[in-house]
Amino acid sequence: MGRHPLHKAALLLAAALLTLAPTAARSEFAYGSQRALLVVEARSMRPLIAYQADRPLPIASLTKLMTALIAADYLKLDELYPLTEEESRALGVSHLTGRKLIELMLIASSNQAARVVARLISGQVDRFAELMNRRAERLGMSRTHFVNPSGLPADGEAYSTASDLLILLQEFLRHPELVAISRQAEVELGGRRYPHTLSRLRRLIPQLGGFKTGWTREAGRCYLIELGSGSRRYYIISLGSPTRRQGIKDILTLANLLGFSVKTK
């Protein structure tokens, strides 16, 4: 079957943008406020739109994608792990499974869960950051440096690029259990339900799937998301939108460009 007309038009426009220099592309087509952007066609992993994709930038909680990868390697998903007294007070429970820790990181973006993972695997945050950086180096993420498992500001400079995050995404996609968790609507803990940080965008774009958001004042709004399914699936890596409102607008603009229906309220 042929491609949907809007889908074909989106690909043609994106291909045309790639013939422009990054600064020219930005002036010719104002696709958003991001400091860096990469839009990839999922089947071929071919970039359709690239803007400052090799620019090192803070990535906030997108960091937890790497933390989740390492957690999946070292922790057993169904095993219960004891928490320290301080961790128990923060999370409201005394034990958590490996799966629940990953759910809390990928769905609710829990910084505390990320710190628990670091303690369980490496004993302390600094050693876990070394593990993260070794993994990044093995994957070929040459413009990436981690300083902690959460992405919160800390002593030392943490950064990555949209291109390196695409490498991280490709590794993440090799773990179906992590992809499935990132697509969940919510996570339950201690009788409370916490919605996915992508919940608002999912209401506006029904075809939006899983993965992760991030925000700090320094990093701005960051997104690593999937749009569509089957032969119409795209990955979007958007870094540095200045506000939540603008970040959502940026993603809606891209979804519309790619031929997806979006809601305005």
pLDDT at 200 over 80: yes
Q: State the pLDDT at residue 204.
A: 97
Q: State the pLDDT at residue 31.
A: 62
Return the top range by mean pLDDT from 11-20, 54-63, 151-160: 54-63
> Which of these ranges, 7-11, 30-34, 58-62, has the smallest mean pLDDT?
7-11
Kindly report the CA angle at 141 between 136 and 146, in degrees rounded to 5?
50
> Quick check: helix, strand or coil at residue 51?
strand
8 Å CB contact between 37 and 162: yes
The separation between the first and the last C-alpha atoms of the chain, rounded to the nearest angstrom, is: 33
Q: State the pLDDT at residue 24.
A: 35
For residue 64, which of 125, 98, 106, 104 has the smallest C-alpha distance? 106
Tokens of 118: 């670091």
Q: E strand or H helix at 96, and its extent? A: strand 95-97
pLDDT at 12 over 70: no
137: left (phi over 0), alpha (psi -120 to 50) or beta: alpha
Q: What CA–CA distance (Å, rounded) separates 65 from 211?
A: 8
Tokens of 201: 């965008």
Mean pLDDT, rounded, for 150-174 = 95
Fill in the DSSP letter of residue 31. Answer: -
Identify the structural domains of the chain with CATH numbers, from first to last.
Answer: 5-257 (3.40.710.10)
pLDDT at 36 over 80: yes
Could you tell me which residues come within 8 angstroms of residue 124 by beta carbon, excluding any fewer than 6 positions away? 118
Place of tokens 């200045």: 242
pLDDT at 23 over 60: no
Average pLDDT taken over every residue of the chain:
90
Q: State the pLDDT at residue 265.
A: 64
Convert the pLDDT of each residue in 91-126 to its tens digit. 999 999 999 999 999 999 999 999 999 999 999 888
Taking every pair of C-alpha atoms in the chain, what is the biggest distance, in angstroms?
59
Place of tokens 């981690």: 146
Q: How many CB atoms lie within 10 A of CB 107?
A: 25
170: left (phi over 0), alpha (psi -120 to 50) or beta: alpha
Q: State the pLDDT at residue 15.
A: 47
> What percent of the chain lies above the pLDDT cut of 90?
83
pLDDT at 256 over 50: yes
Regarding pTM above 0.85, the answer is: yes
In the chain, what are the helix, strand and coil shares in percent, each to the nearest 5? Answer: 45, 20, 35
For residue 57, which of 241, 255, 229 has the smallest C-alpha distance? 241
Mean pLDDT, rounded, for 180-198 = 97
Band (pLDDT 50/70/90 cuts) for residue 1 is very low
pLDDT at 19 over 60: no
